[in-house]
Each structure stands twice: as C-alpha cells, then as structure tokens.
C-alpha cells in the first residue's frame, strides 16, 4: 500500500478554508493545517508528484501572503512492505521536485 500526501504545516494562523480557496482543493487530511492524502495499491509517484505540484503552481505568492512558505510544504510517500523495500524515481520527477523547493519525506515500515 502506498500513501501519498501533500501537506502544509505552519504555526501561522491561517485557516483550512483559506488554504482550500487558494489551492482549489479541499483538505482531506486532519493532522496538518491542510493536506491531501491519496491511498493506492501500486506505486505511482511520478503522476502524483505532477498532480501535487500542479496544485501549488502559481500559488506560492498567495500562500506567502498568509504566512505559508515553501518550507511549510512537504510531499510524503508512506509505504508498507513485506520483505524488501525498494523505490526508484525518474530524474525528471526529481528535477521538478527540486525546482519547486518542496521537501520530500519517505517513511517505510514492514507489515
């Protein structure tokens, strides 16, 4: 099982509604100021990354106006596995992620 998450954590006093309006999608993750969580049975990071980055594209100035910087935004991959855990990501996805300045977090655990 793969869980992909785009989340915003901030000590600033912005509301979930403000973030929903700026990003254009309602949060479905309760443990952050704002977040989207997608659960899939297979690996699909490249497509999910493109989707997550498209939600943020052109909105960084609006986010900064309410106190949210790129340092407050992260993309998570959470993976439950049996036996061995291997992941590989294509260079283009990594380049897009690096250019965005968004943090990538990976957490794996054995069943």
Query: How does 36-46 read in b/e, with b if 16+ C-beta sit within 10 Å?
Result: bbeeeeeeebe
Average pLDDT over residues 75-97: 90
The parent domain of residue 47 ranges over 1-10+35-72+88-101
Q: Are 73 and 4 spatial neighbours (Cβ–Cβ below 8 Å)?
A: no
Total domains present in the chain = 1
Give the per-residue pLDDT at 62.
95
| Spatial CA neighbour of 51 closest among 37, 64, 32 | 37
Q: What percent of the chain has pLDDT over 90?
A: 70
- How does pLDDT run across 6-49, given as a tens digit for each residue? 999 987 778 899 999 999 999 999 888 899 999 998 888 889 99
- Residue 65 domain-assigned (yes or no): yes
Strand bridging mode 73-81 / 103-110: parallel
Mean pLDDT of the chain: 92
Burial category of 24 from C-beta neighbours within 10 Å (exposed 0-12, middle 13-18, buried 19 and up): exposed
Give the per-residue pLDDT at 89.
87
- Residue 67 domain-assigned (yes or no): yes
Give the per-residue pLDDT at 83.
87
Give the per-residue pLDDT at 30.
87
Query: Does residue 59 carry a pLDDT above 90?
Result: yes
Average pLDDT over residues 86-99: 90
75 pLDDT tier (thresholds 50, 70, 90): very high
- Residue 47 domain-assigned (yes or no): yes
- Residue 110 domain-assigned (yes or no): no
């Amino acid at each position: 099982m793969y869980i992909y998450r785009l989340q915003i954590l901030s000590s600033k006093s912005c509301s979930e509604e403000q973030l929903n309006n700026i990003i254009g999608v309602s949060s479905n993750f309760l443990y952050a100021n704002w977040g989207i969580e997608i659960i899939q049975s297979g690996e699909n990071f490249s497509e999910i990354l493109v989707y997550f980055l498209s939600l943020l594209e052109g909105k960084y100035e609006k986010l900064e106006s309410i106190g949210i910087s790129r340092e407050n935004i992260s993309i998570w991959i959470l993976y439950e596995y049996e036996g061995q855990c291997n992941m590989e990501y294509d260079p283009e996805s990594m380049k897009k992620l690096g250019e965005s300045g968004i943090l990538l977090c990976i957490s794996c655990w054995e069943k």
